[in-house]
Amino acid sequence: MHDLDTAPPASPALPDQVLPLGSAELMAWVVNAMPGDRAIYWRGHVARDMWHGWAAGMRRRDCNALGETARLAFRLAERGFLRLVQHRIGPHDYAYVAIALGMSPARPAPQVIA
């Protein structure tokens, strides 16, 4: 995990940038983001939407893409590239926010992990 004393602070305001669904889109944003940049990578309820979203009208491939994106975000956070924050908007409605912690020459760019 990233040292909390050096990580950018989380702001209560939601970011304006909303990423398209997909692990490639998240990875492209991470590689190009500056420290402190924030983006919403999902709006809803990840676990519920990932497993039961198709029942609410989501296409199965979008449910699968959500699962891949959420797992990638978690792995990138574990490696210190992101901080993940949830903002509760309402019942089963959250904004899932990625906050870039920045890249350095000492840390290579993250690679997509299957």
pLDDT of residue 41: 94
Amino acid of residue 91 = P
pLDDT of residue 92: 85
* Residues in the chain, pLDDT under 70: 1-12, 53-56, 103-114
Classify residue 67 as left (phi > 0), alpha (psi -120 to 50) or beta.
alpha
Three-class SS of residue 42? strand
Is the model's pTM score more than 0.95?
Answer: no
Classify residue 19 as left (phi > 0), alpha (psi -120 to 50) or beta.
beta
- Rounded CA separation 28/33 (Å): 8
Q: What is the CA 100 to chain-centroid distance, rounded?
A: 10
pLDDT of residue 107: 56
